Structure 1
Amino acid sequence: MSSCRERDSPPIGGEGRRAENNKQDRVRTVGMDAATLTYDTLRFGEFEDFPETSEPVWILGKEYNALAEKDEILSDVTSRLWFTYRKNFPPIGGTGPTSDTGWGCMLRCGQMILGEALLCRHLGRDWRWATDQKQREDYISILNAFIDKKDSYYSIHQIAQMGVGEGKPIGQWYGPNTVAQVLKKLAVFDTWSRLVVHVAMDNTVVIEEIKRLCMPWLDAAGACAEAAGVSELNGCLEGACALAEEETALWRPLVLLIPLRLGLSDINEAYIETLKQCFMLPQSLGVIGGKPNSAHYFIGYVGEELIYLDPHTTQLAVEPCDDGQVPDDTYHCQHPPCRMHICELDPSIAAGFFCKTEDEFDDWCMRIRRVCLCVNTALLFA
């Protein structure tokens, strides 16, 4: 493995604040400021094609062969929701900014990782998007949750205003932990998806705590039994179970976000193989993070390169049609995905995982334990 090179760069975020220093982000184009790219230049620009390699390609828990399955890889990447800078949306807070260019990259990455969770929740990991098909109602509902207006569950408006409570004024860049905390708060209002968004702090995942959050009926049944006595336990359990079944079974789908620091100014090589393992897990939602001055949504890797979706292009805000449909071409990245060497990754990240059922969470725990037993890898979390 090649060594991570030394660099003297500021932490992630705020590329708009540093524009005066001409530190412009690049997305495999030449001579373009990434914050002012348009959709057309991104889609039809001179992007480097996907590598011809025999090494496996991993995209959010799925393995591909780059030589034989290039179309499948591009279809998978294109099917992910791609949220970028937008302009000309209603002012945030009524009088605030009408564009997030230059400050909203991490907020858009937060939208992407949660958007992937909603796709898995309502459509399944194998769902694929195509331009010529009539979109399912659930898909339209997911997209509407992110439209740039104040009453969408996960709009830039909601994220920016909720961030004020986390000490981030509107227009200021976020770190991975801040956006994770904001998404946790916003998910409470999404009664359709009924997600449990749990942010595991201090590199620690407490299994019992997560199960209590995802199966609140257990606490209700326990309290009922304690109050009514053992003789009435069966009746209480029946009532709790009936309530749970009405609200889609006994487990509320889990979005697990784990903020991590994988080094001081550069990523520590000891974590690289373990980080790759995260993209191989079937529960993977990817990683939000980036490189100095810009945030990206990482969805996989090939060899020593991370594969990512980049929010650094400014597009016009989209309005739903009168029939409720959403013009969605600009919400899917239709060019070969961006890549960067893993050593360029800023050490501050947040890894995401989705467990729709308790069995999937138990399987995730088992797989993580196996990763932890590998002698050649360093632990990301315990």
Structure 2
Amino acid sequence: MRRLQERLLGHRWYTAANASSGSEIWVLGLCYKVSADTGNEALSAQAYEEFLLDFTSRVWITYRKAGFESLGQTKLTSDVGWGCMLRSGQMLLAQALVCHDLGRSWRRDPGQPCSREYLQILQSFGDSESCPFSIHNLLEAGSPFGLAAGSWLGPYALCRTLEALAKADKNQSQKIGGERALPFAVYVVSGEAEGERGGAPVLCVEDVASLCSKWGEPTEEWSPLLLLVPLVLGLDKVNPRYLPSLRATFTFPQSLGIAGGKPGASTYLVGVQDDQAIYLDPHETQQVVPVTPDNLEVDTGSYHCSVARRLPLDSIDPSLAIGFYCRDRGEFDDLCARSSELARQSNGAPMFTVAEKSAPPKAADSSKLDMEESVPKESSSEDDWQML
């Protein structure tokens, strides 16, 4: 039924033939030049194979059943039907861990024994409370934001959940004197009133610098960083003005992709070609596969997808979260420079902006007046989303 729906909605998968219809495929900051020129068949085929190897090496996390540890008092033993945004968030987080521990150039080789570092990443997303980034622990960390087993959540709550999970992990490691499961700080870029007033959120360099300097050990000057940007880019669909900027984020070397995707059915967007987004779909129900770093011969095939699906970028849900990973201060400064340039090229419609310092808070008694004055008496339907 899912694949029938994909056919009806126009969602397709890549083959060497249809991938060559465009000139470039961008996957999490890497470019694959697939050309339709008749003189470059061999080069296009090689680029396609490299793209496919990259895509199939991304960690794919889906619905699970049969071996799924029950979720607290709910007694639920599967996340089928409600856990897709959590699974998308897990995939984005897994990509950050892969970049941190294995490097962006890492590729999976099914013919070779698994590395311990790779298996440790997969184990951390297992479906039990003992696994630090399991759905079980995500639900616990996200309870202040309304997360509950059996209910769906939005990208903003997902970002705050990952932030809370990182803080809890740091506090626990300091308390018991052990290593942190999450080896980087998490910063959420949001606008006024915790992101509820719309408008372009601001990435504050001063706030990030303070977080990363405090997060690291005393001998470290700067902690690695997972930066999350939850956005609402329209009402029923993404405002077309934001599509060029959205597409451009996949070209950033710090790109972790986007948690979002189809309306009401979250996916993990990892790449783009022309006006098509390439994604990993968590809506595949698989059995739980126990993974431990000691079993180097374990079959991890269910954590990797060989089918690269795509959908029109302008058809994705306007509520989404963009992720970036910065290993050090230099990569963060480069991200800020790229983001500032992207905002300058946005024709007055930036997705988010960069500022050195935080803006001073407005007086509480004037906030209502400020909001009333900021809303135009008449607005076009194209700009109505800014009133969210």
CA contact (8 A) 2:212 2:222 kept: yes
Counterpart in the other structure of 1:13: none
Please give the per-residue CA displacement for 1:80-119, whole angstroms capped at 9, x wherever unaligned: 1000000121111165211111000000000000000000
CA contact (8 A) 1:321 1:327 kept: no
Q: Which residue of 2 aligns with 1:212?
A: 210
Q: Alignment partner for residue 144 of structure 2, among 152, 165, 171?
A: 165
2:58 corresponds to 1:80:
yes
8 Å Cα contact 1:298/1:307 also seen in 2: yes
One-letter identity of the residue aligned with 1:216: K
**2:202 counterpart SS class:** coil
Partner of 1:143: 122
Deviates more, 1:47-56 or 1:267-276: 47-56
Distance 1:377-1:54 versus aligned 2 partners, 3 A rule: farther
**Which letter maps to 1:334?**
S
Give the conservation status (yes or no) of the 8 Å contact 1:29–1:47.
no
Match of 2:184 in 1: 195
The structural deviation recorded for 1:30 is 5.3
Q: What's the secondary structure of 1:244's corresponding residue?
A: coil
C-alpha distance in 2 between matches for 1:150 and 1:375: 44
2:255 matched to 1:284? yes
- Counterpart contact for 1:271–1:377, Cα < 8 Å: no
Partner of 2:378: none
CA drift at 1:261: 0.8
Counterpart contact for 1:25–1:293, Cα < 8 Å: no
SS of the counterpart of 1:297? strand
Q: Which residue does 1:308 correspond to in 2?
A: 279
Shift, 1:47, TM fit:
4.8
Query: What is the alpha-carbon distance in structure 1 between the residues aligned to residue 4 and residue 273 of structure 2?
Result: 17
Distance 1:264 1:306 in 2: 20
Residue in structure 1 matching 2:331, options 360, 363, 366:
360
State the superposition RMSD in angstroms.
Answer: 2.3
Whichever residue aligns with residue 55 of structure 1, its letter is S
Cα contact 1:28–1:338 (8 A) shared by 2:
no
Counterparts of 2:324 and 2:134 in 1: how far apart (Å)? 21
The residue identity in structure 2 corresponding to 1:179 is: L
Cα separation, partners in 2 of 1:319 and 1:271, compared to 1, 3 Å: same
Deviations 1:25-59 (A, max 9, x none): 55875599x9xxxxxxxxxxx95524222421110
Unpaired segments ≥5 residues, structure 1 = 1-23, 35-45, 219-242
Q: Pick from 223, 229, 244: which aligns with 2:218?
A: 244
Partner amino acid for 2:300?
D
TM-score scaled by length of structure 1? 0.78
| Unpaired stretches in structure 2, ≥5 consecutive residues | 36-43, 171-179, 192-200, 354-388
The answer to whether 1:318 aligns with 2:289 is yes
Query: Which of 253, 257, 269 is matched with 2:224 structurally?
Result: 253
- The letter of the residue matching 1:121 is H
Determine the structure 2 residue equivalent to 1:155: 134
1:262 to 233, 236, 240: 233
Structure 2 distance, partners of 1:119, 1:217, is: 20
1:184-213 deviation digits (Å, cap 9, x = unpaired): 122231604421011111111111000100
Change (3 A) 1:214 1:375: closer
CA pair 172-71 structure 1, distance change in 2 beyond 3 A: same
Report what 1:344 is aligned to: 315
Compared with structure 1, are the counterparts of its residues 94 and 131 closer, same or farther at alpha carbon in structure 2 (3 Å cutoff)? Answer: farther
Which amino acid letter does the alignment assign opposite residue 330 of structure 1?
S
In the other structure, the counterpart of 1:20 is none
Indicate how the Cα distance of structure 1 residues 29 and 346 shifts in structure 2: closer, same or farther if over 3 A, else same.
closer
Farther off after superposition, 305-314 or 189-198: 189-198
Aligned to 1:12: none
Say if 2:78 is the partner of 1:99.
yes
Instruction: String of CA shifts for 1:106-153, please: whole Å, max 9, x gaps.
Output: 000000000000000111100001211122221111111101111111
Distance 2:306 2:24 in 1: 22
State the one-letter code of the partner of 1:287: I
Change (3 A) 1:217 1:353: closer
Q: Percent identity?
A: 38
Closer, same or farther: CA 285–312 of 1 in aligned 2, 3 Å: same
Partner residue in 1 for 2:376 = none
In 2: Cα distance, 1:370 partner to 1:321 partner? 44
Q: Closer, same or farther in 2 for the Cα pair 1:27/1:157, shift >3 Å?
A: farther
Q: Is the 8 A contact 1:184 1:197 kept in 2?
A: yes
What amino acid is aligned across from residue 143 of structure 1 in structure 2?
L
* Amino acid across the alignment from 2:305: C
Q: Contact 2:80/2:285 (CA < 8 Å) preserved in 1?
A: yes
Shift of 1:300: 1.2
1:379 maps to which of 341, 350, 363 = 350
Shift of 1:179: 1.1
Distance 1:26 1:289, change over 3 A: farther
- Cα distance in 2, alignment partners of residues 252 and 48 from structure 1: 38
Which AA in structure 1 matches 2:299? P
Against the structure 1 CA distance between its residues 117 and 60, is the aligned structure 2 distance closer, same or farther, given a 3 Å change threshold?
same
CA–CA separation in structure 2 for the residues paired with 1:307 and 1:322 = 30
TM-score by length of 2: 0.77
